A and B are shown apart, each in its own frame.
Chain A
Amino acid sequence: MKKIFQKNGNINLLLQGNEAIARGALEGDVSFCSGYPGNPSSEIIETLADAASHLPIYTEWSINEKVAVEAAAAASFAGLRSIVCMKQCGLNVASDFLVNLTLSGTKGGMVLVTCDDPSGISSTNEEDARVFADLADTPLLEPSTPQEALEMTKWAFDLSEKINNIVLLRSVSHLSHTRSVVRIGELPENEKKARFDTRNPFHTFPVIAKHNIRHEKLKTAETIFESSSWNPYQGPEEPELLIMACGSAWCYVLEAVEIAGLTGRIGILKLGTTWPLPKKIVRETLRKCDRILFAEEVDPFIETAIKAYAADLGEEAGGKTFMGKASGHIPSTGELNPSIFLNLFEILFGLDLINKTYREKVGEHLDGVIFPREFGFCPGCPHRGSYYAIKQALAWDNRDGFISGDIGCYTMGIWPTGFNQVKSVHAMGSGLGIASGYGKLAQFGFDQPVVTVCGDSTFYHAGLPGLINAKFNKSDILLLVLDNSATAMTGFQPHPGTGSTATGEDTEPVDLEALLRSLNIGVDVADPYETEASAQKIYALLQKKGPRVLIMKRKCALVQGKQGGFPYQMSVNHDVCLGESCGCGRYCTRIFRCPGLIWDKENMKATIDQVVCVGCGMCADICPRGAIEKTGKRN
């Protein structure tokens, strides 16, 4: 058994922020864990799924975030402690239930973890999910370090039970994906029995009364926050600058102040409980200084709340200068880092903190030489085949068609790796909804064919309603389900089509084809590796009307790799390869763009990178001269 699941505490472990949250949940006596995968949150449920084989807890990957919160709420209603985890975009999906749940209240301690992704490193956006705390009147905790993440998660269950409502905990990429030494506590061993008390129902009626109760719960939370230890002040009694910081931003501030040698001149209020504001603490701290800087990631959440509170304080607060995202002192978008604060301290304190000479010299030297690495599908990825086939079909069709895209590895269809075929990407499942709209524009002269693509996991998550909408409204929609039997983007979590659950238990897979056929929608299946045949099928489908589905079925290359790999050894016959000549123009490396193919500059021929190539054989079919050869793998 891994050390992270051991019963005894008081040892130091190297834990990732997400693992620390999982351990915190276990130390907080959690019974029911659910979530939907999405960077940077996935490792929490992965860890808890692993824990479920050693400890008496239940963990599931739910079909989407809303269902995840609903399932976890059931456990809470039945008196058990539950945790539900997602990324920032997921909370949007869950929010409809959340804003009602906080009216009905909860019973067993319930914690919702949202892992936000400042800079959108692996997201379609960088939204700040903290606004849901305000919207749903939910207490909000913001840990700064893995240690704190563990402790706050554990504490959040107690808080939830004290106010009988769900508690939000917000992490960010640079906490969730940060590993550090964490001192773990002991795991409790309590007998638990789930039971719903039918005398105490959970619903939102009468709405006004419940709304008032919700506000009272928030007040109670505020009082608890004010007496908690999560909001420490450090620094002189009369600082020249007061920084109010939360989350990872606090780490950057702390370090920048130290580097700048300003520990005696700057005071830092670390806010660990950011909604509702611990007003007493804020009020007392505001007295210390008239210049206040806010340090937080993404939106000016505490900044706005504290400024509003200062306005309420009126004359008592006096004339304050607030600096933050609104004033432009802190960038209003993107991840923060120590550098931002050092730059600011240089200006505010007239210091010289950054090695500008070095930076300028390097900058000049590198100018125009360094370029970003282009992202691409893995070697052997079926999506490359699918997009290649769609590209062919749309080009043949010649009506300026395009793809309405969705969320997954295949979102990369917006880039050359997917031949730039995807022209819109927004939220989970929205590719279908948008396509169902295009499918009704014919009466306004719209004559471009639209293909919508959706991964299997995404299809179950939020795609089905869009497809049923198309069926219901007789929309002309062509859906290609890119069925790779995996949630590949986020790390191969199982989903309803894979045949196993989060904990590795066997479950009957949903028969996607049968499901679609039950809607009486034309369904066909194609193999993405057979690009020509697939393109012919797609072209034929483009000429038809009404809802149509083609399942592009082929396991994720990484999964195929794990299951024994590919049968071919690839090579390029340089005597046949045309290279840059008319007739080819480096078609395989320039257009097909598989990372397993490289351009041999000396010979001016394509060649195979044997370290990278997995031997799927697709490129042999697209080579115009048959110069790429596949032979049986030598073992």
Chain B
Amino acid sequence: MDKKNPEGQTGLVEHVFKKGLCVTCGACVDLCPYMHYHDGRVTVMDKCQAEDGRCFKWCPRAVPPGMNTADAEQMAAKGIGPFRKIVAARACDEKKRESSQNGGMATALLTLAMETGMIQGAILTDRGDDDAPSGKMVLSKEMISAFSGSRYSASGALSALNRAVGKGVEKIGVVGLPCQMEALERRHQYYIKKQMTDQVTLKIGLFCTWALDYRKLAAYLEQEGLTGTVIKCDIPPPPAEIFRVYTTGGTFDFPLPDIRQMIQKGCSVCTDMTSLYADISLGAYEGREGWNTLIIRTETGEKLVDLAVSKGRIEIEAFPEKNMSDLDHAAQNKKNRGADASLKMTEGEVGS
């Protein structure tokens, strides 16, 4: 890269923020005083002069496609990408299943990982109640279940990882979106280059089609008369076309097309639906209430799932061929859409 595009905050601002491509993963936040996550958004606080900064190196949107190992692998992967095993699964604990999107799966796996010492702490996304969702470091397994339930909003959760590093926790598990898994991969490669030990020992990635801009969503919900504190959000299966919000004041439905207006611009160039860089990717099982799709991608992931099954924490079933092909198709669609959008953006730049 030439000097005009230094691999620091200047590059980050140029390639990501000015283009509106920030996906609010939080990888660049709280490494320094220059980048903050506040009220659902990552913001540039001051100008940093460093030409070699982690904020740029770890950002899943900073480097143009193909410029980085992580990109290259992602570009090469088709559909749901490489994996060791794919199964249908659900947590055995019914209570855990009820309150969460993922059938209590993440909670069950993290709890076990913590018990076995695979991780000492977990980076999870706090619902935020009346405030924006945000990342938290959880150090006890009892606390893990309090963090389930999605808001479909970006959360900057990796900032919690940045805050936790250097505070004595050596093994950390992270639950996050595909962009966050990609950031962790970039981070991992940076650590290898610098000959440092990565503290992240377990990555549980979620399926994701898009995430919403929290501030836009909050303003919309307020304007549309939502009352009470948000507990969780859900998108019931088609053809409902609604966005359902459960709050302490009741259940509210909003037209999905309205909600789609609030998708982060950065999500439009995303090519990863199933968290290619996770140890275990976790998503819904279309048409089967309470069950998950589990893509086991690494040895670490496989060991944990095997142990969870043997200890009776989760039960698994074979994943039907038909579902497999549907999922692969959906993942490939997202990949194509993202690549197209990315190309258009680049062409736009060239043209201008």
Contacts and interface: CB of A to CB of B under 8 A. Distances in A.
Pair from one complex: yes
Interface of A: 391-392, 395-396, 398, 419, 539, 580-585, 587, 590-591, 622, 624
A395 B43 contact: yes
A149 to B, nearest CB: 48
Given A392-B45, A582-B50, A582-B52, A587 B33 contact: yes
Nearest to B17: A398
A582 B32 contact: yes
Interface string B12-49: 00000000000000000001111010110101111011
Given A395-B43, A582-B8, A587-B33, 18 more contacts: A391-B46, A392-B36, A396-B43, A419-B46, A539-B39, A580-B50, A582-B31, A582-B32, A582-B50, A582-B54, A582-B55, A584-B32, A585-B48, A585-B49, A591-B46, A622-B33, A624-B32, A624-B33
B255 to A, nearest CB: 25
Contacts of B54: 582-583
B32 A587 contact: yes
A591 B41 CA distance: 22
Nearest to A393: B38
Interface of B: 8, 31-34, 36, 38-39, 41, 43-46, 48-50, 52-55
Listed residue (A395, A585, A590) with the most chain B CB atoms within 10 angstroms of its CB: A585
Given A585-B48, A591-B46, A395 B36 contact: yes
Given A398-B43, A590-B49, A583 B36 contact: no
A193 to B, nearest CB: 64
B31 A583 contact: yes
B19 to A, nearest CB: 15
A622 B34 CA distance: 11
A512 B50 CA distance: 45
Contacts of B33: 584, 587, 591, 622, 624
A396 B32 CA distance: 15
Listed residue (A396, A582, A583) with the most chain B CB atoms within 10 angstroms of its CB: A582
25 contacts: A391-B45, A392-B36, A392-B45, A395-B43, A395-B45, A395-B46, A396-B36, A396-B39, A396-B43, A398-B41, A580-B50, A581-B50, A582-B8, A582-B32, A582-B54, A583-B54, A585-B32, A585-B34, A585-B49, A587-B32, A591-B33, A591-B46, A622-B33, A624-B32, A624-B33
B137 to A, nearest CB: 18
A591 B32 CA distance: 13
A537 to B, nearest CB: 13
Contacts of A591: 33, 46
A585 B43 contact: no
Closest 5 CB pairs of A and B: A396-B38, A583-B32, A395-B45, A585-B48, A624-B33
Listed residue (B41, B48, B49, B52) with the most chain A CB atoms within 10 angstroms of its CB: B48
A396 B41 CA distance: 8
A398 B54 CA distance: 22
Contacts of B55: 582
Q: Is the interface of B mostly helix, strand, loop or mixed?
A: loop
A622 B53 CA distance: 20
Nearest to B42: A398
A207 B34 CA distance: 64
A398 to B, nearest CB: 5
A438 to B, nearest CB: 21
Nearest to A587: B33
B50 A585 contact: yes
Contacts of A539: 38-39
Contacts of A583: 31-32, 54
Contacts of B38: 396, 539
Given A582-B50, A582-B52, A395 B31 contact: no
Contacts of A584: 32-33
A582 B39 contact: no
Nearest to B8: A582
Contacts of A582: 8, 31-32, 50, 52-55
B221 to A, nearest CB: 15
A365 to B, nearest CB: 30
Listed residue (B39, B44, B55) with the most chain A CB atoms within 10 angstroms of its CB: B39
Nearest to B53: A582
A415 to B, nearest CB: 15
Nearest to B47: A591
A259 B181 CA distance: 79
A618 to B, nearest CB: 14
A587 B34 CA distance: 9
B127 to A, nearest CB: 20
Contacts of A398: 41, 43
Contacts of A419: 46
A310 to B, nearest CB: 58
A198 B58 CA distance: 83
Contacts of B8: 582
Contacts of A585: 32, 34, 48-50
A489 B324 CA distance: 73
A584 B41 CA distance: 21
A31 B39 CA distance: 61
A584 B53 CA distance: 10
A501 to B, nearest CB: 43
Nearest to B55: A582
Contacts of B44: 395
B16 to A, nearest CB: 14
A624 B50 CA distance: 15
Nearest to B52: A582
Contacts of A396: 36, 38-39, 41, 43
Contacts of A624: 32-33
Listed residue (B32, B54, B55) with the most chain A CB atoms within 10 angstroms of its CB: B32
A622 B45 CA distance: 13
A395 B44 CA distance: 7
A98 B82 CA distance: 85
A591 to B, nearest CB: 5
A581 B43 CA distance: 21
A585 B48 CA distance: 7
Contacts of B43: 395-396, 398
A627 to B, nearest CB: 12
Contacts of A391: 45-46
Nearest to A580: B50
A620 to B, nearest CB: 13
Nearest to A583: B32
A60 to B, nearest CB: 44
B113 to A, nearest CB: 29
A604 to B, nearest CB: 14
B217 to A, nearest CB: 15
Listed residue (A392, A396, A581, A583) with the most chain B CB atoms within 10 angstroms of its CB: A583
A591 B35 CA distance: 13
B191 to A, nearest CB: 13
A455 to B, nearest CB: 25
A590 B8 CA distance: 17
A395 B54 CA distance: 21
A398 B38 CA distance: 10
A391 B34 CA distance: 12
B324 to A, nearest CB: 42
A622 B38 CA distance: 17
Contacts of B39: 396, 539
Contacts of A622: 33
A395 B31 CA distance: 17
A384 to B, nearest CB: 14
B259 to A, nearest CB: 21
Listed residue (B36, B38, B44) with the most chain A CB atoms within 10 angstroms of its CB: B38
Nearest to A590: B49
Contacts of B36: 392, 395-396
Contacts of A395: 36, 43-46
A124 to B, nearest CB: 27
A539 B132 CA distance: 14
A583 B44 CA distance: 14
A277 to B, nearest CB: 56
A315 B52 CA distance: 78
Contacts of B50: 580-582, 585
